[in-house]
Amino acid sequence: MNDLPNRARSISSLRDFLELLEDSGQAITWSDPVMPEPGVRNIAVAASRDANGAPAIVFDNITGYPGKRLAVGVHGSWDNIALLLGRPKGTTIRELFFEIAGRWGDQEAQISYVPETQAPVHECRLEQDINLYDVLPVYRINEYDGGFYIGKASVASRDPLDPDNFGKQNVGIYRLQIQGPDSFTLMTIPSHDMGRQIIAAERENVPLKIAVMLGNHPGLAVFAATPIGYEESEYSYASAMMGAPIRLTKSGNGIDILADSEIVIEAELQLGERELEGPFGEFPGSYSGVRKAPIFKVTAVSHRRDPIFENIYIGRGWTEHDTLIGLHTCAPIYAQLRQSFPEVTAVNALYQHGLTGIISVKNRMAGFAKTVALRALSTPHGVMYLKNLIMVDADVDPFDLNQVMWALSTRTRADDIIVLPNMPAVPIDPSAVIPGKGHRLIIDATSYLPPDPVGEAHLVTPPTGDEIDALSKRIREMQLGALS
């Protein structure tokens, strides 16, 4: 375990990552009999209470699913994310943030192709009498979900109007509700890549084929959820960010897929058809409504021998969803902000996909932080998600909420709060005025600077920096050592 960075770069599949997690005490196998409901949910929720150290859990004895395996919580803690990034357990969230931010735009993609006949994902193949319930040990994720959901699917598709363009292939995470043995609905919105492709296919009356990848290279789940440009390939991006090669092969319906995934479901859009979908317990911690969503018909399933179905618990936080996408919500906002304002020193948008964000900035003049906040609202993610923004000085670590509260307590005046009414909002924000429209809040908790006439009190300056961070870790290690 002394060479974590190389071991992380050598991961090519979920199985490799589970092995690394197990070696590090970060994956456990649940072999006691468990009912799908409410047993799986209860165990997943109990594990996710520990955002720092929760292990992945592999179930291998779910009642009614003999011989089938289910993994939850694979990205369910900061320690698991640290190991994926080649860093040791106990790495702070701030350090992980800078690990990701430092990789942004820094690496080349390494994509290789494996012949279909040699790709592990195609070891077993079903082309008729398909029943998804016979392949996937599903369970109701939250008790009032409208059905059985696949919550951690990376869905790959080609642009229906430009199917030969590698860059325009889309890989994204969308929620899928099983609708009978060989059908599922897919929830998306027009601004997402998949939404654009569905609208285009239906308008031009051309087929839209997709490949749903389950149990994937753990880097893809992290990076496929990152909002990047439409013509950028998520595979290339994930490979570059991992600093590691990604092996692709072709699905039976001609889409580039990961060669080492556990399961791939091939399906085709039923043009113009909509079926009732939802509710689903979503990341704000509330249920989405019932709507009529596009439906896909399954045409084939490929899977590895003894596949592992990977799923997620999502709902009222803290959940795996928060650790899965948290850092990659922060990093693009940080990179985009720094193009305009290099004074930005860190971005913490971990909370509910950035519905609340905390940005630290070297304040140039009184009110400067408010200008930076307005720029944050115009980043691609900020347009829909950044609802509450707290601006702090660069001497405040936005990942340390005790420090953020200190700034709020000592540096905020009530008239340093801006409310922007009637702005666009992500439709599933339960506080929206109407779905899709709501108010934004900016709290300027930075210190006073000229031309502000009020001087600041003389601050106590406790020691900070690497030496103190190292001492803090050492104290923690000594404490843990005393326990063992």
Partner 1 sequence: MTTTVCGRCKSSGAITDYQGRQNGAVVWTILRCPTCNFSWRDSEPARAIDPAVRSADFAVDAGDLQRYPKILQQ
> Binding residues for partner 1, per CB under 8 A?
35-38, 63-66, 131, 133-134, 140, 143-144, 146-148, 177-181, 187-190, 195, 198-199, 202-203, 274-277, 279, 287, 289-294
Amino acid (one-letter) located at 400: D
Least distance in Å: CB of 146 to partner 1?
6
Strands in 27-30's sheet, in edge-to-edge order, are 27-30, 56-59, 69-72, 308-310
Least distance in Å: CB of 238 to partner 1?
27
Q: Are 402 and 424 in contact (CB under 8 A)?
A: no
282 has catalytic annotation: yes
Q: Please state, in angstroms and rounded to a whole number, the distance separating the CA atoms of residues 377 and 184.
A: 35
C-alpha torsion sign, points 61, 67, 68, 74: positive
Q: Closer CB to partner 1, residue 65 or residue 334?
A: 65
Q: What CA–CA distances, in Å, run from 385 to 221, 240, 340, 382, 448?
A: 20, 26, 20, 5, 28
Q: How many CB atoms lie under 10 A from the CB of residue 234?
A: 22
Least distance in Å: CB of 278 to partner 1?
9
Least distance in Å: CB of 201 to partner 1?
10
Q: What CA–CA distances, in Å, run from 362 to 176, 379, 391, 394, 465?
A: 43, 19, 10, 5, 17
Chain centre to alpha carbon of residue 31: 28
Which one of 262, 266, 277, 282 is the catalytic residue?
282
Q: What CA–CA distances, in Å, run from 61 to 7, 22, 65?
A: 30, 18, 7
* Strand bridging mode 69-72 / 308-310: parallel
Q: Closer CB to partner 1, residue 276 or residue 394?
A: 276
Least distance in Å: CB of 387 to partner 1?
22
Tell me the catalytic residues: 282
